[in-house]
Structure 1
Amino acid sequence: MRALLLTLAVLAGGAQAETLTVKDAGSLEAALLQARADKRIRRIELASGRYALTAPIVIDETLSGTGKEPFVLAAAPGAQPVLSGASPLPALRWEQWQHGIWRARLSGTSFQRLWMGQQMLVRARYPNLDPAASGFGGAADATSPERVARWRDPQGAVLHALHGYGWGGLQIPILGKKADGGLDYGPQLANNRVMPPSDKDRWIENVLEELDAPGEWFHDGKQGWLYFKPLAGERPPTRGFRAGTHEALVRIEGRARDVQHVQLRGLQFRDTEPTFLKATEPLLRSDWKFYRAGAVTVENARDVRIADSEFTALGGHAVVVSGRAQRVAVSGNHIHAIGGTAIAFVGRPEAVRSPLFEYHERLELAAIDRTPGPKSDAYPKDSEASDNLIHDIGQIDRQATGVQIAMAARITVDHNSIYRIPRAGINIGDGTWGGHRLTHNDVFDTVRLTGDHGSFNSWGRDRFWHPDRAEMDRRAAAHPELALLDAVEPIVMRRNRWRCDHGWDVDLDDGASNYVIEENLMLAGGLKLREGFQRVVRNNILVNGSFHPHVWFDNGGDVFESNIVMGGHQPVEIKHWGRSVNRNVFASKADLRQARGRGSDADSVAGYPGFAAPAEGDYTVTNAALASHIGFVNFPMDDFGVRPARLKAIALQPAFPVPKQLSSATPLQAAQQLHGLSLKPVETLGEQSAAGLGDKAGLIVLAVEPSSPGAAAGLQPRDVILTSGQQQINDLATLQSLLAAGHSVELTIARNQARVLLHWPRQAAASSPSKP
C-alpha cells in the first residue's frame, strides 16, 4: 500500500520525518492508519487521479503535528489529485419505459446528484433548467393545483423558492399529498425569517411526472428504479454513472482534545451531496439557518491551514470552521460553482450569553446577562480567509455568501475576490464578538437574485436587541452600553472595493454596532446605516452613490465624516444626526444645501473630486483643495482582490463607472392628513427597507393625533398601511374611499417587520399578528 517513502527532516530526539505517496483511495486510507501509528509520518502526498472516498477523511488529534513539523495532506509535486464525494454505480440494465425515458433497477440509498461521465445531470424538475438563462429560473405555476393533480406521489420532492420579500432563498420539503389533493409541506429550511415563499420565483424538483427534458433523471427509492431521459435520445450506457455519496470530504476535528498543526494543500474537492435539507439551525437572530458541514469542516482545532486548493461542483458549503477553533487559515483557494457558502466561521450558541434565535424573540432587561463577551470558547477566533477567488456560489442554497461570520471573534478577511453570487459577498450575522478585519477585498456583482441588502451585509440583533422599536428607543436612551456587551471589539472595514447594483454597496442592518469603515471604494449602491451604535465612517469614496441613514436611535453615536459622495444623503426618519455628520464633499451644491437644511454637514463643501483615471479603476482624488478642506487622504487603488499569480490571472474585476453627479432626488410627496393621521406613500427603496417591506407599497403613518379616529383604530407612527382584504392601499384616495363606507374595515399593516390586523373602528378585542 505504501507507494513511496522519503526522509524529510530530523525530528526532536533524532527521529526522521517521512512522507507517504499514495495513488488511490484505498492506499490513502491505509496511509492515514499508518500515520496514526507511526509518528514519524508527517506528510501524505496524493498522486494525480480521482479518489472516490468510501467515507470522509477524519484528521483528529492522533494525527496532530507540531509547529515545526505539521501534519500535511497535499498533492504530490506537479500532481492534480481530486477528492470526490461521488461513487460509481453498478452496471445498469436499461429498458425503455415511455416518452423517451429509460429505466434500470437500482435499489439502495437515495441520492440527490447523478453524473454520466463528467457531466452532472439534472434531477427531474419544473420548470426545466435553462443553463443559458439568468435569474432564478422559476415559474408561478410550479405548485399550481392543476400541476399537482398530475403527480401521483410527490413525497420527497422539494420546493425551491426565494423569500416572499426577496431577502434570501429557502427550500421546503414536500411530505406528500393531503386528503384534499393539496401538497403537504414540511418546515421552511435555510431562511430564519419564515414568510410565504415568492409567488413566481419558485421551482420544484424530484417529481417523476416532471421528468420530460433530455438529461433529467429520477430515482424511485421505494420501488428501486432509476429513470433517465438520455441527452441524445439513445440507449444510455451501462457503465459510467456516478451518484452522490458524501456531503463531507475531510473533517479536521479533535475528539478528546484539540487537533493541532494540520495542513491541506493543493487538492481538489468536488462532487459532494447538497445539504440544504439539513439547514435547520438558526444562527441566532440573523436571517440565516445553517448546516455545520462543508467539503472541509474544522472544529476543536488549532493552527490549521487549508491552502492552494480548488473547491468546485459541491452540493453544499466549501469550508466550514465550526465551534472551538483558533488560528485557522483558509487561503489561496479557488472556490466556484458550488451549492452553498464558500467559507463560514460559525461558533456554537452555547458560547453566547443570553442567546435568542428568531427575529421576534426578546428578553426583558432584567433577564439580560450583563457580563461582556462570550460565555465559553466554543467559537472560531484569530483566524483568516485570505487571497481566495470565490465566484458562482449559492447555486442551490440562495442563503449563501462568500464569507460568513457568526458567533466568532477576530476573523481577518483579506484580499479575496468575490463575485457572481445571489446574495451578499460577505455577511456578518451578529455582533458577537467583533474584532474582525475586512481589508483589500474586491466584492462585486452581488445580490443577483435577492434584495434589500448589499455586497456587504450585517446584523447586530444581539442580547440588547428588542424587535419593538418603541422598546428599543427606551433602551437606547437609558442603556446604550448594552449594544457593546457582545460587540466588544470594533469591526474594521478598510481599503475594500465594493459594488452592488441591486442594493447598497455596504449595508449595516438592524443593530449592527461598533464598526470602523474607512478608505473603502464604493462603486454603485453607496452606504446604508440602519439602527445601531458607534459606527465611524470616514475617508471613503462613494462613486455614483450616496449615504443612506435609516431610522437611527437618538444617541447611537454614529460618525460620517471626510467622505466623497456623488449624491445627496438619503435619510429615512432621522431626528438626530449622531455624533457627527460633517466635513464631506458633495458633487452638487443643491445636495449640500439640502443636507444643511436637515441639520448636518455645516462644514462640508461641494465640488468635483477630479478622479484620476476612472475608466481604469483609479478614483484617486486630484482636487487637492477639496480633499484638504475635509481632511480626506487618498488611498491605494491597485491593491484589491487576490494576489497569487495563478488566481489573479483569472479573477475578474468590476465594471468601473463613469463618475456622474447624481440628479437631485425627486421631491417626495408631501404628507396628507386623514382622520388624525399624517400619511404619505412608500416611494423609495430606503422607505421600503426601513419598514421591512417586499416592495414599494402602502401608506406610511408619520404621526397620529391623540384621541383621533386613527389613534382609536390602534395605528402608531412608523406603521405602514398595506391592504384591506385584497385591496392594495397605495394612496390616500383609496384609504379614504374604504373608510367612507361607514362600516368596519379590516386593515393589514406592517409594524416592527410583522403583519398586524387592525379594525376601523377598532374592535374591543386586542389586535394580534396575522399568520404568514
Structure 2
Amino acid sequence: MRTVMWMIAVCLLIQHTYAADIYIAPSGNDLHAGTAAQPKATMSAALRQAREWRRLHDPAIKDGIHIILKGGTYFLYEPIFIRPEDAGTTESPTIIEAAPNDQPILSGGIQIRNWQPFKGKIWVADVPAIGSEPLNFRQLWVNDIKAVRAKDTNGDSMQRILSWNHQTASCWIPTPLIRGLEKASGLEMFIHQWWAIANLRIRTLEVHGDSTLLTFHQPESKIQSEHPWPAPWISKESGNSAFWLTNALPLLDEPGEWYLDVKAQKLYYWPRDNEHLSTATVIAPVLESLITMTGTIDNPVSHVHFKGISFQHSSWLRPSKMGHVPLQAGLYMLDAYKLEVPGTPDKKGLENQAWIGRPPAAVKVSYAQYTSFTACRFEHLASTGLDYETGNRHDTINGNLFKDIGGTGIQLGMYSDEATETHLPYHPTDTRTVCSNIMISNNLITDVTNEDWGTLGISAGYVKDVTIAHNEVHEVSYTGISVGWGWTKTINVMSNNRIIGNKIHHYARHMYDVAGIYTLSAQPGSEIIGNYIDSIYKAPYAHIPTHWFYLYTDEGTAYYTVKDNWCPAEKFLQNANGPDNVWQNNGPQVADSIKQAAGLEAPYKYLLSEKAPVHHSQPINQYQ
C-alpha cells in the first residue's frame, strides 16, 4: 500500500513539475502561484513568472508555456510589454490564450459611473482622475456601441466651407446656427479633403453676419495651409470641402452624443432610447496601446502567440494636442510644403515634400519573428488595431475579427522614418528592418476607419514577401487593401507581395481617389490575383464623384501581375505606372469559381455573423 501511495505521489509531483501553465483571472492575485485554483491577476505578473522559468531553464517549459486567461475584463493600468527575454522557441513557444469557452478582454479603458440628470435629456458624470492627471479622451462606448462626439450636424450630414485662405491660414464657413461657440474651449473642425480628413483645433471663431472666420492652433495650422496634397477642395461643380464643428457642450443636441469638459472633469451624455445609465456599461479609453511587443534588430522577440484574446478600448490623443493632418492612409504630416523649385533626389518633377508620423496601435509589434495572432478580437479601438511596424519576419495574422476601429484594421511595414522625406525610396543597408514573410489570412475586417476616414482595412508600406489572402474587408470609409509607399518607380525593398483571393465590398463610404485594392511604387514579382471587389458606395461629399475604382495601381507601381480579379465592371486606374505590369482577365467575365472562392475559407466563415450592417440608405455606384 505504501508503494502504491508513493508512486501516486511521484506521479503527482511529476505532473506538477511539468505543468507549464500560468492562469490569470480578474479576481486573481499576483501573489498567487498561477494555478487554475489560484490564478494571478495580471498578464505582467504571468509574463514575469514565465520569464523566470526561461531564465532558470526550468524543465517544466520543455514543451512550452501557456499563459491562460479566464473570462472577464482586465482593465490595464499600463501597456503590457513583451520583450526578448519573453521569447520562446520552436519547441517551447509562449502561448497567451483564452481559457476554454471563455472570452477574456484586455481593456485600455475605465468605466464611468454615478450618472446624474443635468439638463433636459442630458446626463452628467464625474470623470475619474488617472493618478494626479485629468483624463482626456476622444471616444466613448456605451454598452459596446460607439457614441458620437457632439457636433453641429446630425447623422452623417456635413456643411461646406466657403473658402480657404492659404496665406492667412484661415477658413470662412457659414455662420453656425448654434450661438456662443466663439467662447467654447476645445472646439475643433473636422474637414473632408480629397482622400483624407483633418482634425483642426480652432483658435478663434469670428462671426461676421452670415459668414464666420476660423483660425487654428499650431502646428496643424501651418501644415494644413502649406501642404498641397490633399488640400481643402474648392469647386463650383462638385462643391467645396465638407466639414463639421465638434467638441462643445452647446453642440450636444441629439441622442448618442457626448461631450467631455476636460478642465472640470465632467462628462455629458444624451442616452439613446434603449439606454439606461443606471445599468449601462460606459467605457472611456485611457491607454493608447494595450500590448507592445518589441525586440531589437539583433535580439528579436520570437515564438510568442496570442489565441482567442479580445483587445478593446484604446485611446488616441494627438489630435487633441497637436491636430491631425494626414498625407494618406492616416499617416500624419510633421512638416509639408510646396516646393518653389521642383525636384528631389528621386524625382526631378516632384513639387512637394512631406515628413510623416505614425498613429499608435492598440497592439504594436517591432523586431519580432515567428509570432502570431489567431482567433483574437480587435474591437472598440481609437486608431490602428494591430500594427507590425518594423523588423518583423515569419509572422501570422489569421482568423481574427477587426471591428469598430477608428483607424486602420491591420497595418504593417515601414512607411517612412520621421527623418526621411516620404517620397524617397526605402532601401536600408540592413534589410532586417524590413517586414517580410508575413501571412495575413482569413480575417474579417468590418466597420473600421470609422473615425479617421482616410485609413484602410489592411495597409502595408515597404514590405516584401507578404501574403494577404482570403480576408473579407467590409464597411470601410476609404480603400480596402493598400500595399506600397513612396510614389516611386525606383527599385526599393518591396518585392514578391501577393494579394490573393480577398473579398472587398461596401467600401469608399466617405472618401474617393479610392479602390478595393490600391498599390504604390515598384514591387518586382508581386501579384493581385483572384480577388472579389464589389459595392462602392456613393460618397456624398466626394471631391470628384467619378473618381472611384475597383483596382488602382498608383504612382510608380511596377512589375505587378494583375489577373483573374472579379468586379462588376472594368473601372480601373493605372496612374503614372512604372514598367512591366501585366493585366489579364479582370472584370465581370471572371469565372464564378474564382468569385466564389474569394473571401474567408470554410473553417473561418463563422466570423461572418460578426459583420457590421450595410448602410442600405446609401446608394451603390453603378458603372455603365
TM-score after normalising by structure 2:
0.73
User: Equivalent residue for 1:386?
Assistant: 441
Aligned partners of 2:444 and 2:607 also within 8 Å? no
| Contact 1:138-1:200 within 8 A present in 2 as well | no
Tell me by how many angstroms 1:103 deviates: 3.5
User: Alignment partner for residue 244 of structure 1, among 285, 309, 327?
Assistant: 285
- CA distance in structure 2 between the partners assigned to 1:452 and 1:488 by the alignment: 21
Residue 528 of structure 2 is matched in structure 1 by 493
1:196 match: 232
How far does residue 319 in structure 1 lie from its aligned partner after superposition?
Answer: 0.7
Aligned partners of 2:137 and 2:317 also within 8 Å: no
In structure 2, which of residues 282, 300, 324 is the aligned counterpart of residue 258 of structure 1? 300
User: Superposition pairs for residues 196-235 of structure 1, below 5 Å?
Assistant: 196=232, 199=240, 201-231=242-272
> Could you tell me how far apart the structure 1 residues matched to 2:293 and 2:560 are?
32
Alpha-carbon separation, structure 2, partners of 1:488 and 1:103: 54
1:144 matches 2:102:
no
Q: Distance in 2 between matches of 1:227 and 1:500?
A: 38
2: CA distance, partners of 1:311 / 1:23:
20
After TM superposition, give the deviation of residue 351 of structure 1 in Å.
Answer: 11
User: Could you tell me how far apart the structure 1 residues matched to 2:182 and 2:83 are?
Assistant: 47
Preserved CA contact (<8 Å) 1:434 1:488: yes
Q: Which residue of 2 is the match for residue 101 of structure 1?
A: 122
Partner Cα separation in structure 1 for residue 275 and residue 559 of structure 2: 62
> Partner residue of 1:768?
none
Q: Distance in 1 between matches of 2:403 and 2:259?
A: 26
SS of aligned partner of 2:454? coil
Q: From the superposition, tell whether residues 234 and 47 of structure 1 become closer, same or farther in structure 2 (CA, over 3 Å).
A: closer
2:615 equivalent to 1:643: no
Q: Which residue number corresponds to residue 514 of structure 2?
A: 453
Deviation at 1:272, TM superposition (A): 1.7
1:158 aligned partner: 188
1:454-493 equivalences under 5 Å are: 454-460=515-521, 487=522, 489-493=524-528
- Give me the whole-angstrom Cα distance separating, in 2, the residues matched to 1:420 and 1:90: 32
SS of the equivalent of 2:433 reads: coil
Is the contact made by 1:153 and 1:176 (CA closer than 8 Å) also made in structure 2?
Answer: no
In structure 2, give the amino acid aligned to 1:650. Answer: L
The aligned residue for residue 122 of structure 1 is 148
Letter in 2 for 1:83: L
Using the alignment, how far apart are the partners of 2:597 and 2:173 within structure 1? 48
* Correspondence 1:305 to 2:372: yes
Whether 2:587 is the aligned partner of 1:532: answer no
Q: Tell me, yes or no, if structure 1 residue 541 matches structure 2 residue 586.
A: yes
- 1:169 and 2:200 matched: no
Q: Report 1:52-131 matches (<5 A).
A: 52-89=75-112, 91=114, 94=116, 96=118, 98-106=119-127, 108-128=134-154, 130=155
SS of equivalent residue, structure 2 residue 48: helix
C-alpha distance 72-139 of structure 1, shift in aligned 2 (>3 A):
same
- Percent identical pairs in the alignment equals 22
Q: Select the residue among 358, 372, 393 that pairs with 1:326.
A: 393
Q: Is the 8 A contact 2:203 2:216 kept in 1?
A: yes
Q: How many residues align?
A: 513
Whether the 8 Å contact between 2:355 and 2:421 is mirrored in structure 1 is no
Determine helix, strand or coil for the equivalent of 1:30.
helix
Q: Following the alignment from structure 1 to structure 2, what is the Cα–Cα distance between the partners of residues 27 and 510?
A: 48
* Cα distance per residue 1:79-120 (max 9 Å; x no partner): 11111121123645x363x44434344462222223445454
Which deviations, in whole Å up to 9, do the C-alpha atoms of 1:164-210 show, x marking residues without a partner? xx323332233454799843324179998241167463222211110
Structure 1 distance, partners of 2:69, 2:158, is 42
Q: Aligned partner of 1:47: which letter?
A: K
- With over 3 angstroms needed to count, the CA separation of the structure-2 counterparts of 1:145 and 1:301, relative to structure 1, is same
Q: 1:343 aligns with which of 402, 410, 423?
A: 410
Question: Where do 1:683-722 residues align within 5 Å?
Answer: none
Does structure 2 retain, via aligned residues, the 8 Å contact 1:137–1:201? no
- Unpaired runs of at least 5, structure 1: 1-6, 131-135, 364-368, 461-486, 544-563, 565-617, 621-634, 655-661, 664-772
3-state SS of paired residue (2:578):
coil
Cα distance, 1:356–1:287 mapped onto 2, change above 3 Å: closer
Residues 435-477 of structure 1, C-alpha deviation per residue, up to 9 Å, x if partnerless?
A: 21111111222222222331111222xxxxxxxxxxxxxxxxx
Distance in 2 (CA, whole Å) between partners of 1:266 and 1:46 is 9
* Conserved? CA contact 2:564–2:594, under 8 Å: no
CA gap of 1:454–1:327, structure 2 versus 1, over 3 A, is same
The 5-angstrom pairing of residues 433-444 of structure 1 reads: 433-444=494-505
Query: Are 1:270 and 2:270 matched, yes or no?
Result: no
Structure 2 residue 483 is matched with structure 1 residue 428: yes
What is the TM-score when the length of structure 1 is the normalising length? Answer: 0.60
Aligned with 1:416 (options 452, 471, 484): 471
Name the aligned partner's letter for residue 248 of structure 2: V
Contact residue 308 and residue 376 of structure 2 kept, 8 A: yes
Contact 1:429–1:459 (CA under 8 A) maintained in structure 2 = yes
Structure 2 portions without partners, runs of 5+ = 1-10, 28-40, 55-60, 162-171, 234-238, 325-329, 337-351, 487-491, 538-547, 615-622
2:591 — aligned with what? 619
Aligned partners of 1:55 and 1:458: how far apart in 2?
36
- CA RMSD, Structure 1 to Structure 2 (Å): 3.9
Alignment correspondent of 2:7:
none
Kept after mapping to 2: 8 A contact 1:387/1:644: no
Does structure 1 conserve the Cα–Cα contact (< 8 Å) formed by 2:289 and 2:364?
yes
Find the counterpart in structure 1 of residue 565 from structure 2: 520
Letter in 2 for 1:341: T
